[in-house]
């Protein structure tokens, strides 16, 4: 049985990740993903509007957006926001809310060596490992301060990093097995998607 899943994604980087990394993996389980960008305008109202529309034409709908930059979150955590999103939509059974702590780039910290390879930056892996050590070797704990969010840390250590150009190629090289091991919240979301088959 084929399962059609719309993914309301934050922007072009997340869309590329869904198409180039998640889709080839999940298609083996007859789960087809259809990413729909929010174009960086992530808020409860935007998600509600998008999800309501997407639920009409898909078997399931999920989200992939960052905690960092989520408008009007007022200090809420990723699980708090997921619960609030589901409640705002009336908790439909066909909806799987997911908010990435703290940012999409946290996933890149799951593979310092691969990041260094893709970016041709041999000194980058050690720099990323030092950052990880400060966060118990857990990428999803790298915080969301303006100067300390994962994307700015990565850009500071490797100025040539470009989210759109390098994001999904790095993650493809790391592979979903290691990403889900290093990023348990992401791993739990992927497990829920797998279970739709």
pLDDT digits (tens, 9 = 90+) for 23-75: 999 999 999 999 999 987 899 999 999 999 999 999 999 999 999 889 999 99
Give the DSSP H or E segment for 190. Answer: helix 184-194
Q: pLDDT-based confidence at 147, cuts 50/70/90?
A: confident
Q: Are 17 and 98 in contact (CB under 8 A)?
A: no
Q: Are 7 and 38 in contact (CB under 8 A)?
A: no
Q: What is the pLDDT of residue 144?
A: 62
Q: What is the pLDDT of residue 36?
A: 96
CA dist 20 and 18 (Å) reads 6
Start-end ranges of CATH 3.40.50 in the chain? 3-102+177-194
* Mean residue pLDDT across the chain: 95
Q: Which CATH code for domain 3-102+177-194?
A: 3.40.50
Where do the DSSP E strands lie in the chain?
3-9, 31-37, 60-66, 95-96, 99-100
CA dist 177 and 173 (Å) reads 11
Helix (H, G, I), strand (E, B) or coil at 14: helix
Q: pLDDT-based confidence at 84, cuts 50/70/90?
A: very high
pLDDT digits (tens, 9 = 90+) for 132-145: 999 999 999 998 67
pLDDT digits (tens, 9 = 90+) for 156-178: 999 999 999 999 999 999 999 99
Q: pLDDT-based confidence at 91, cuts 50/70/90?
A: confident
């Amino acid at each position: 049985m084929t399962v059609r899943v719309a993914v309301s994604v934050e922007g072009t980087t997340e869309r590329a990740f869904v198409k180039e990394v998640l889709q080839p993996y999940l298609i083996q389980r007859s789960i087809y993903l259809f990413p729909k960008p929010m174009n960086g305008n992530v808020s409860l109202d935007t998600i509600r509007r998008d999800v309501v529309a997407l639920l009409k034409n898909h078997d399931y709908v999920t989200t992939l957006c960052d905690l960092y930059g989520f408008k009007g979150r007022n200090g809420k955590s990723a699980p708090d926001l997921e619960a609030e999103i589901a409640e705002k939509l009336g908790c439909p059974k066909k909806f799987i809310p997911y908010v990435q702590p703290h940012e999409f780039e946290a996933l890149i910290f799951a593979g310092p060596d691969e990041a260094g390879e893709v970016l041709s930056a041999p000194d980058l892996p050690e720099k990323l490992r030092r950052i990880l050590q400060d966060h118990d070797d857990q990428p999803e704990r790298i915080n969301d301060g303006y100067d300390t969010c994962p994307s700015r840390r990565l850009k500071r250590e490797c100025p040539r990093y470009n989210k759109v150009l390098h994001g999904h190629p790095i993650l493809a090289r790391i592979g979903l097995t290691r990403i889900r091991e290093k990023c348990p919240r992401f791993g739990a979301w992927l497990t829920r998607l797998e279970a739709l088959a």
